A and B are shown apart, each in its own frame.
Chain A
Amino acid sequence: MARPAIYPVVLVVLALMLAACEAETPTASPGAGESPPLVADTPPPVGDTPPPVGETPPPVGDTPPPVGDTPPPVAPGGSILAEVQSRGRLICGVNGGQPGFSFLQEGTTDWSGFDVDYCRAVSAALFGDPEAVEFRPLTTDDRGPALQTREIDVLIRNTTWTVTRDAQWGLFAPTTFYDGQGMMVRSEVGATSLEELGGATVCMQSGTTTELNLADAMNVAGHEGNYETQIFDNIDETYNTYETGACDAVTSDRSQLTARRTLMANPADHVLLDIVMSKEPLGPAVPFGDERWFNIVKWTVLVTIEAEEYGITQANVTEMRDTSEDPVVQRLLGADPEQQQGTLLGLRNDWVVDVISAVGNYGEMFERHVGPNSALGLDRGLNRLWTDGGLIYAAPYR
């Protein structure tokens, strides 16, 4: 992060300061250090200019060469792609507290979830190995700065794509999950709409689009200022406080509410209102400054969608590569030696095979972690393929 050029400069400066201090007290320790010739019995002739203090050679032993000789630092910003490749593993910012999306399985060290699998997909695309990932759990407040400072290579943390974030945080890859903000209340309250929540206390997390949307939605529902909020920076504190009853309702993305309900002592006591307060397109984001890196993350998402569209699954991907006659499938899986899309991206030509055999296609990932047969039991809804009337659509791989 810091420019290496600074350290030699600081060292030289410190050295000069040391020299100056030593010169200041010539009588204190006779003969100590590299002070200029100050021996009492050989005073230089009056009027002769002594070597100025500043030019004393630095007494530090292995000082790096002075600034002028330092080779220019690596191109500002550097390439994230090169950095990840030389490091040999991907640093992926995740939520860490959301079952179905990114969650540390109880009693194990295994990360699991929809977002987690996208981290693994990027890792497979880069290294052919889905496990070369370091997961970094981030709070809602910390994720923006983590992207801005490049603490992470990619953020896959159910993060809503908005214009402010696109301008301030980094570049958003295609949406992996179309969500909307919902509201969960205890079933005993018997509310079905926001209009019935006048005077209620709502728990939520800081640093989210949720905070902004609730205000808008409550204004529309005619309850401007007629509700209380209780805001936490920690996801567990938010839901625990709601569960104790100190909040009447909790608001977040519907997927998160559903996911957290599975963790509650008695999930049946809580009901998700049948309302959607906002559009929440959730997807990966990468730091600014490396378009090639952005392309790789973007196309990792797109190929999982393309694979579902063409019926390529985790189970049949190698078979499809070897036997498929479909030119689209051949191109996608790098089976056609004339087509070099993978190399153009800076990856291997058959990188899609690695991705799909690691995590499967979009539909498989959805089914595995959040679909109707998972603990969350979410319907595909808007997240159906465009061919089925949903919004999941990939640009052509050609």
Chain B
Amino acid sequence: MKAVSATQRHAAVPPWRDIRVLRIVGQVVVVGVVLLVGYLLWENLTGNMTRARLTFSLDFMRATAGFDISQTVIPYSTRDTYGHAFLAGLLNTLMVSAVGIVLATVLGFVTGVARLSSNWLVNRLAAGYVEIMRNTPLLVQLVLIFALLLQLPAVANSITLPGPIYLNQRGLFLPRPLAEPTFTAWVVLVVIGVVVAIVSRRISVRRREAGLPTRAIGRIGLLAMLAIPIGGWIVLSPLQFDLPVQQRFNFVGGVVLSPSFAALLFGLVIYTAAFIGEVVRGGIQAVRRGQLEAAYAIGLTPGQTLRLIVLPQALRIIVPPLTSQYLNLTKNSSLAIAVGYSDVFAVSRTMANQTGQSVAVILLVMGTYLTLSLATSLAMNVYNRRVQVLER
């Protein structure tokens, strides 16, 4: 009986007043609108492209590129395809972003901690750095850094450092290590050294817990870790060096850190590190004062307090905005062309220009940056889940 009356009461509510029906209708309408707008934009694009007599195609990716890319991670020549050129540009972007993220994180954490330092000079310096970097455009900084690097001496008057390392306006030329056949053997020795060190550490921890002396064991571990690889190095000489040699126009050989790459990397790092510094400062200041007082009360040093008490708690506040800064750094690397570095965007612009496929290439570049950003976010979300406090 009760069930019947319930259905009767339900039937009495007309569908246009039934909140469940209305919710579904509302959602259907919203999805419909999104699809319609998307369809209209697509129609507009294809209509306009037809009118401009443009076709939409990525077939050119298999054609020969014919243009040069200044520095590449993978071998590239003008006889390679557009697809290969795009890949070379992408790897350049990945390289500058990856190195940039690591360096910006280190510098950012140092800055964030320095801003909270009780040393007046240190915290004023950090504040000045953050405010200058945050409040000037990155493009201006890049162009300025590049212009400064070009003021280094010409090739003929290079600054020579021990190594030999040469510094001039064409870049920093370092010896390139070349692996000898004995290199693998030496790596094995290093692994052995590390294993011995880990084992001795374990033993020493166990002995300490048992209240036994640990000094000798600790020394053995340290000795093994240092002596085995060093001895192996002397005996096996696993590396040779390809030294840069000055030729008619430039140094040849070795590893080159070009001014373009250096300007882009340096600019991205100091710019992003200023933001990361603020993120870190915010995270640390969000840790309650009582935590610090308790840490000092049990006799932890400031360093230990930072490492063991503050950072683990601050990290869960720091990580999400830190992810945004990593994404910013990667996307800002598309300013590379301003300093003559061939990143994926610079290469794509040339591709679009040579082939006339602007829309296709721009969509491809957007897809590429989207993929990079989502991948970074994913990795950072996994890390974020690890540093979050487990709610019970």
Binding site for A on B (CB under 8 A): 11-12, 14-17, 19, 22-23, 25-26, 29-30, 33, 36-37, 40, 44, 47-48, 51-54, 66-70, 77-78, 143, 150-151, 154-155, 169-170, 247-250, 252, 259-260, 337-338, 340, 342, 346, 349-350, 352-358
Interfacial chain B residues near A10, Cβ < 8 Å: 37, 40
Cβ of A231 and Cβ of B340 under 8 Å apart?
Answer: yes
Cβ of B68 and Cβ of A164 under 8 Å apart?
Answer: no
Output the nearest chain A residue to B351 by Cβ-Cβ distance: A207
Cross-chain pairs A/B with CB under 8 angstroms, 15 sampled? A17-B33, A20-B29, A21-B26, A24-B23, A50-B16, A148-B52, A149-B52, A168-B357, A201-B249, A224-B77, A225-B77, A229-B68, A237-B338, A241-B340, A289-B52
Cβ of A199 and Cβ of B340 under 8 Å apart?
Answer: no
- Least distance between B345 CB and chain A CB atoms (Å): 10
9 new A-B contacts, CB < 8 A, other than A43-B12, A237-B338, are A3-B47, A24-B22, A164-B356, A201-B250, A206-B346, A212-B67, A228-B70, A232-B337, A248-B249
A20 touching B26 in the complex, CB below 8 Å, given contacts A38-B17, A77-B51, A215-B78:
yes
Cβ of B70 and Cβ of A17 under 8 Å apart?
Answer: no
A34 to B352, CA, bound (A): 50
Cβ of B353 and Cβ of A141 under 8 Å apart?
Answer: yes
Cβ of A211 and Cβ of B36 under 8 Å apart?
Answer: no
A214 an interface residue at 8 Å Cβ cutoff?
Answer: yes
A211 touching B68 in the complex, CB below 8 Å, given contacts A141-B349, A150-B52, A237-B340:
yes
Interfacial chain A residues near B247, Cβ < 8 Å: 199
A246 touching B170 in the complex, CB below 8 Å, given contacts A20-B25, A38-B17, A233-B338:
yes
Binding site for B on A (CB under 8 A): 1-3, 6, 9-10, 13-14, 16-17, 20-21, 23-24, 26, 36, 38, 43-44, 46, 50, 53, 76-77, 140-141, 144-145, 148-150, 164-165, 167-169, 189, 197-201, 206-207, 211-212, 214-216, 219, 224-225, 228-234, 237, 241, 244-246, 248, 287-289
A304 to B250, CA, bound (A): 48
A43 touching B14 in the complex, CB below 8 Å, given contacts A144-B356, A231-B70:
yes
Cβ of B353 and Cβ of A207 under 8 Å apart?
Answer: yes
Interfacial chain A residues near B15, Cβ < 8 Å: 50
Interfacial chain A residues near B355, Cβ < 8 Å: 164, 168
- Least distance between B134 CB and chain A CB atoms (Å): 25
Cβ of A229 and Cβ of B54 under 8 Å apart?
Answer: no
Output the nearest chain A residue to B342 by Cβ-Cβ distance: A231
- Least distance between A32 CB and chain B CB atoms (Å): 15
Chain B interface helix/strand/loop/mixed:
helix
Cβ of B66 and Cβ of A212 under 8 Å apart?
Answer: yes
Interfacial chain A residues near B337, Cβ < 8 Å: 206, 231-233
Cβ of B14 and Cβ of A207 under 8 Å apart?
Answer: no
Cβ of A206 and Cβ of B150 under 8 Å apart?
Answer: no
Cβ of B29 and Cβ of A246 under 8 Å apart?
Answer: no
Interfacial chain A residues near B354, Cβ < 8 Å: 164, 207, 211-212
Cβ of A148 and Cβ of B54 under 8 Å apart?
Answer: yes
Interfacial chain B residues near A230, Cβ < 8 Å: 70, 260, 340
Cβ of A148 and Cβ of B356 under 8 Å apart?
Answer: yes
Cβ of A233 and Cβ of B349 under 8 Å apart?
Answer: yes
Q: 6 nearest interchain CB pairs?
A: A168-B356, A215-B78, A207-B353, A211-B67, A244-B150, A229-B68
A10 to B30, CA, bound (A): 13
A164 to B77, CA, bound (A): 22
Which residue of the partner chain, among A17, A43, A44, A206, contacts B350 with CB atoms under 8 Å?
A: A206
Output the nearest chain B residue to A43 by Cβ-Cβ distance: B14
Cβ of B340 and Cβ of A232 under 8 Å apart?
Answer: yes
Interfacial chain B residues near A24, Cβ < 8 Å: 19, 22-23, 25-26
Interfacial chain A residues near B54, Cβ < 8 Å: 148, 168
A330 to B373, CA, bound (A): 68
Interfacial chain A residues near B154, Cβ < 8 Å: 245
A246 touching B169 in the complex, CB below 8 Å, given contacts A215-B66, A289-B53:
yes
- Least distance between B76 CB and chain A CB atoms (Å): 9
A248 to B156, CA, bound (A): 12
A16 to B338, CA, bound (A): 47
- Least distance between A250 CB and chain B CB atoms (Å): 12
Cβ of B250 and Cβ of A206 under 8 Å apart?
Answer: no
Interfacial chain A residues near B17, Cβ < 8 Å: 26, 38
A244 touching B52 in the complex, CB below 8 Å, given contacts A148-B356, A214-B68, A215-B67:
no
Output the nearest chain B residue to A244 by Cβ-Cβ distance: B150
Cβ of B16 and Cβ of A53 under 8 Å apart?
Answer: yes
A148 touching B358 in the complex, CB below 8 Å, given contacts A38-B16, A289-B52:
yes
- Least distance between B289 CB and chain A CB atoms (Å): 44
Interfacial chain B residues near A44, Cβ < 8 Å: 14
Output the nearest chain B residue to A215 by Cβ-Cβ distance: B78
A144 to B250, CA, bound (A): 35
Interfacial chain A residues near B12, Cβ < 8 Å: 43, 46
- Least distance between B178 CB and chain A CB atoms (Å): 20
Cβ of B68 and Cβ of A215 under 8 Å apart?
Answer: yes
A149 to B358, CA, bound (A): 11
A144 to B349, CA, bound (A): 11
Residue from the set A13, A167, A189, A206 with the largest chain B CB neighbour count within 10 Å: A206
Cβ of B358 and Cβ of A145 under 8 Å apart?
Answer: yes
Cβ of B29 and Cβ of A17 under 8 Å apart?
Answer: yes
Interfacial chain B residues near A145, Cβ < 8 Å: 352, 358
Cβ of B48 and Cβ of A23 under 8 Å apart?
Answer: no
A23 to B17, CA, bound (A): 8
Interfacial chain A residues near B349, Cβ < 8 Å: 141, 206-207, 233
A199 to B248, CA, bound (A): 8
Output the nearest chain A residue to B247 by Cβ-Cβ distance: A199
